[in-house]
Amino acid sequence: MEYISSLTLSHFRSHKISKLLLDGRPVVVFGKNGTGKTNILEAVSLFSPGRGLRRATASDITRKPEAIGWKIEGKVKNRISEYEVSICSTNGESRSLFLDGKKASIMKLGQILRIVWLVPSMDRIWIEGTSGRRQFLDRLTLSYFPEHAEVSLAYEKAMRERNRLLKEKIHNDHWYNALEIEMAKNAVSIQKARIKAIKYLSEAQSHLTEKFPKAELLLIDPDQIIITNEEEAVEALKESRRGDMILGRTSVGPHKSDLQAVYADKSTLAKDCSTGEQKALLISIILANAKSLAKISDISPIVLLDEVSAHLDVERQAALYNEICKLGVQAWMTGTGPELFSDLRNRAQFIEVSTIDGVSALSLSN
């Protein structure tokens, strides 16, 4: 299995210097609200491509009032090797990655670790706007296909250029054609990867405990058509050009798609389920993601579950912890007290977080 065996945070949010030694078991991080529990999970989330579970900028992360920059260091172990990872930012600059002492692209992290997470802000994912669901789906898709990040960036870059032409009312078929061919190529790759990810998730959910409901997942589009052919994608962009010029933005493509979920046993849309059922559906998807990743890629993902016990009854809490242990993944979970994780006693490492003069402090709890 892949796991983080050591973690050091330097001037990272509320943590001035915090160090952890880990053995691969699930990690329970507990303490009062505001002590810096989620900050630890955020640091771990930065061991993957992207902006982490808070989508924060590098300058947002640095500890105040020093604001000198921050660093995360850790050792990542897998079945055959160990990597020394260092991620840092100075004076608010974009983060830099060093692998075994050598500078590397942030995208390289996707080849070493796969990280998935569930945070409280996602609890309302089924009832709020489409962008949150797209981000959720793309994070899951990225865990299966690390190249999804670069493809998405290339699509967004071309779309920004096209939008600029539209806003400035520029009529130049040559420029539009070049951008739309690039967008279409990447749009098709994005949609195909999303569809494959949904397939993997759906298959894996059928093998989870019955305590968590199965979510039927579907990728939908405002125009009711998900285009997975490059020629059709180019044609759709060309046909929308006149209307897009009035809008000043691109109206078709994967940036408009949405993820729909149905509570399978009840045939009820997730948005119409209770708060507890919505949370259970999300956990079911995350667990399915972890289970299928281990099977498909031979890489055990790291799972981050912030305030995971919220909206779960005692029975479902126990089922979740059993499922995590059965999966054999390093799962990081936070909560206000150790009693929330009593079913994990002797099966996890417990770390208490407190604050001293506004600085987070860690202690191993037995």
- The domain spanning residue 322 has which CATH number? 3.40.50.300
Q: Which of 298, 318, 351 is the last residue of a domain?
A: 298
Tokens 């559906």 identify what position? Answer: 281
Parent domain of 108: 1-114+302-366
Q: Which residues contact 212 (CB under 8 A, 6 or more apart)?
A: 280, 281, 283, 284, 287, 316, 319, 320, 323
Burial of 9 (0-12, 13-18, 19+ CB in 10 A): buried
Whether 77 and 127 share a structural domain: no
Containing H/E element for 51?
Answer: none
Beta-carbon contacts of residue 3 (< 8 Å; ≥ 6 apart) = 22, 24, 76, 77, 300, 302, 329, 330
The reply to whether the predicted model has a pTM over 0.85 is: yes
Name the nearest CA neighbour of 287 among 117, 129, 147, 159. Answer: 117
Q: What is the dihedral of CA 99, 101, 105, 108, to 10 degrees?
A: -10
- Kindly indicate the confidence band of residue 70, based on its pLDDT and cuts at 50, 70 and 90: very high
Cis amide linkage into residue 338, ω under 30° from 0: no
Q: Is residue 294 over pLDDT 90?
A: no
- Please state the length of the chain: 366
Indicate the DSSP class of residue 62: B
Question: How high does pLDDT run on average in the chain?
Answer: 92
Bridge partner residues of 86 (DSSP): 73, 98
Task: Assess whether 283 and 141 both reside in one domain.
Answer: yes
C-beta atoms surrounding 300 within 10 Å = 21
Q: Does pLDDT of 193 surpass 90?
A: yes
| Co-location of 64 and 182 in the same domain | no
Q: What's the confidence (pLDDT) of residue 222?
A: 82
Query: Is there a single domain that holds both residue 133 and residue 205?
Result: yes
Residue 148 φ then ψ, to 5°: -60, -30
336 secondary structure, DSSP code: S
Indicate which CATH number applies to the domain containing 243: 1.20.1050.90
98-to-59, 142, 226, 229 alpha-carbon distances in Å: 19, 21, 39, 38
Above 90 in pLDDT, residue 225?
Answer: no
Looking at the 3D structure of the chain, how many domains does it have? Answer: 2
In a shared domain, residues 263 and 327 = no
Same domain, 71 and 99: yes
Looking at the structure, do residues 87 and 147 belong to the same domain, yes or no? no
Tell me if 33 sits within 8 A of 11, measured CB to CB: no
Listed residues 267, 298, 329: the one ending a domain: 298
Last-in-domain residue among 269, 298, 327 = 298
Residue 351: pLDDT band (50, 70, 90) is: very high
Rounded distance, CA 117 to CA 125, Å?
13
219 pLDDT more than 70: yes
- List the alpha helices (DSSP H) in 249-340: 275-296, 314-327
Asked if 215 and 142 sit in the same domain, the reply is yes
Hey, how many other C-beta atoms are within 10 angstroms of the C-beta on 29?
Answer: 25
Same domain, 137 and 274: yes
Q: Are residues 154 and 243 in the same domain?
A: yes
pLDDT digits (tens, 9 = 90+) for 128-182: 999 999 999 999 999 899 899 899 999 999 999 999 999 999 999 999 999 999 9
Give the pLDDT band of residue 366 (cuts 50, 70, 90): low
Are 277 and 162 members of one domain? yes
